[in-house]
Chain A
């Protein structure tokens, strides 16, 4: 066990992701099989999936996932512009989801107003 772990997040922990099997191999194996299958070339290309993963990583605000998919998408030939556009998609959905609820707010205000 490493000492001086005074932060919750450590960049070095990303490469230990596969170690999660140490406390539960069967489910970890199932997860990694599933994970591998999800990101394989399919109806969507591996590059498209990488950009989706990057956008979702920003939505769930996972620093490990951002590290992994910023690298992965770049290695798959995506430009800086494409990476940023993917993050804006995530940001637009997040802000849109707040704003669309304002309809509920407006409905309520109208309901209680003369």
Chain B
């Protein structure tokens, strides 16, 4: 577990250009573009936008070892209300049903609740990617479960494992205990309870240099272990593969696992997963309003092509059928059962 962001530590890996250079330097590894082409899937084209994902800031109360955002308490970049307004204007023009709010810890943005209320009034389905510990980090966040309930927000929360040791290794000392407290508070508000209609989904991502397990099997394990040991309930478990970027890339290099992990991703390339990748139906908005095919491209500063790349210039009619911008990190989404912000994709 790192204690500060790459940016704070002045690590060369804080630069997205440096990360991409590293990913390209491994000459022995086939390029993702070539692999896609061999599978007859290049260029990868976007379809209609179904999910509007807003990353409203890199500020976070945690500094997880695998974070692809390089988020942390020392990151101050957050979306302004003016940019949020531009997003709401764009939403009025787009035929999307789901708005997915992420960060950092999105709740730390002072305009977070204003934004949720505004989107909720537009009758969109709202997802918030909540890191759980924020709910217990400060008194002013204790009412979040109630706030979520009032606006029927779907809560998606990371819990890398059903035991403290593995969770804390990835997310920081004491995170598992705080996460369990927050999960119980969400359960008390009705989240994850049968017939409540309040959705609480958990995210499993491997705490190390390995691929995620079968989603259905692991969901059963999580359900029985969390129920038995902590009386915690949830709806679904989403398995997400770690992308070889940012702090996870740093971990891979530092631990000597980088080459092996890339080989593992490449050998597990699955054309069926490539067909269903989330970038085909997602539009990702950065804290400063720039547009990306996904949150991972966002962190590598790879903006959309074939359409204006800022939310204030959004042209809904040119968004579909644009070429998705791919690079070596995309092997993460196409390995094995495939991976997306909604879990396995095959």
Answer whether A and B are interacting partners: yes
Report which A residues bind B (CB closer than 8 A). 15, 45, 47, 71, 74-77, 79-81
Q: Is the CB of B210 within 8 A of A77?
A: no
Report which B residues bind A (CB closer than 8 A). 161, 163, 165-166, 206, 208, 210-214, 217-218, 221, 263
Question: Among B165, B208, B218, B263, which residue has its beta carbon within 8 angstroms of that of A77?
Answer: B218
Task: Report A66 CB to chain B, min CB distance, Å.
Answer: 15
Task: Report B38 CB to chain A, min CB distance, Å.
Answer: 20
Question: Among A15, A45, A47, A79, which residue has its beta carbon within 8 angstroms of that of B161?
Answer: A79
Q: Is the CB of A76 within 8 A of B166?
A: no
* Smallest CB-CB A-B distances: 6 pairs: A77-B213, A77-B218, A75-B210, A75-B211, A76-B213, A74-B210
Complex: A80 Cα to B165 Cα, angstroms: 10
Smallest Cβ-Cβ distance to B211: which chain A residue: A75
- List of B residues within 8 angstroms of A45 by Cβ: 217
Q: Is the CB of B214 within 8 A of A79?
A: no
- List of A residues within 8 angstroms of B206 by Cβ: 74-75
Complex: A19 Cα to B106 Cα, angstroms: 50
Q: Is the CB of A71 within 8 A of B214?
A: no
- List of B residues within 8 angstroms of A75 by Cβ: 206, 210-213
Q: Is the CB of A77 within 8 A of B214?
A: yes
- List of B residues within 8 angstroms of A81 by Cβ: 163
Q: List 10 A-B contacts (CB under 8 A).
A: A45-B217, A75-B210, A75-B211, A75-B213, A76-B213, A76-B214, A77-B213, A77-B217, A80-B166, A81-B163
Complex: A81 Cα to B163 Cα, angstroms: 10
- List of B residues within 8 angstroms of A47 by Cβ: 217
Known: A75-B206, A79-B163. 10 other contacts (CB 8 A): A74-B206, A74-B208, A74-B210, A75-B212, A76-B214, A76-B217, A77-B213, A77-B214, A77-B217, A81-B163
- List of A residues within 8 angstroms of B210 by Cβ: 71, 74-75
Complex: A84 Cα to B211 Cα, angstroms: 20
Complex: A45 Cα to B214 Cα, angstroms: 12
- List of A residues within 8 angstroms of B161 by Cβ: 79
Task: Report B315 CB to chain A, min CB distance, Å.
Answer: 43
Task: Report A54 CB to chain B, min CB distance, Å.
Answer: 14
Task: Report A100 CB to chain B, min CB distance, Å.
Answer: 35
Smallest Cβ-Cβ distance to A76: which chain B residue: B213
Task: Report A50 CB to chain B, min CB distance, Å.
Answer: 11
Interface centre among B161, B211, B212, B213 (most CB of A within 10 A): B213
Task: Report A45 CB to chain B, min CB distance, Å.
Answer: 8
Complex: A15 Cα to B165 Cα, angstroms: 31
Q: Is the CB of A77 within 8 A of B221?
A: yes
Complex: A75 Cα to B213 Cα, angstroms: 5
- List of A residues within 8 angstroms of B212 by Cβ: 75
Task: Report A72 CB to chain B, min CB distance, Å.
Answer: 9
Task: Report B166 CB to chain A, min CB distance, Å.
Answer: 7
Task: Report B204 CB to chain A, min CB distance, Å.
Answer: 8
Q: Is the CB of A79 within 8 A of B166?
A: yes
Complex: A89 Cα to B221 Cα, angstroms: 22
Smallest Cβ-Cβ distance to B221: which chain A residue: A77
- List of B residues within 8 angstroms of A71 by Cβ: 210
Complex: A80 Cα to B166 Cα, angstroms: 9
Complex: A75 Cα to B218 Cα, angstroms: 10
- List of B residues within 8 angstroms of A76 by Cβ: 213-214, 217
- List of A residues within 8 angstroms of B166 by Cβ: 79-80
Interface centre among A47, A71, A75, A80 (most CB of B within 10 A): A75
Task: Report A40 CB to chain B, min CB distance, Å.
Answer: 13
Complex: A79 Cα to B210 Cα, angstroms: 13
- List of A residues within 8 angstroms of B218 by Cβ: 77
Task: Report A13 CB to chain B, min CB distance, Å.
Answer: 14
- List of B residues within 8 angstroms of A74 by Cβ: 206, 208, 210
Interface centre among A15, A47, A77, A80 (most CB of B within 10 A): A77
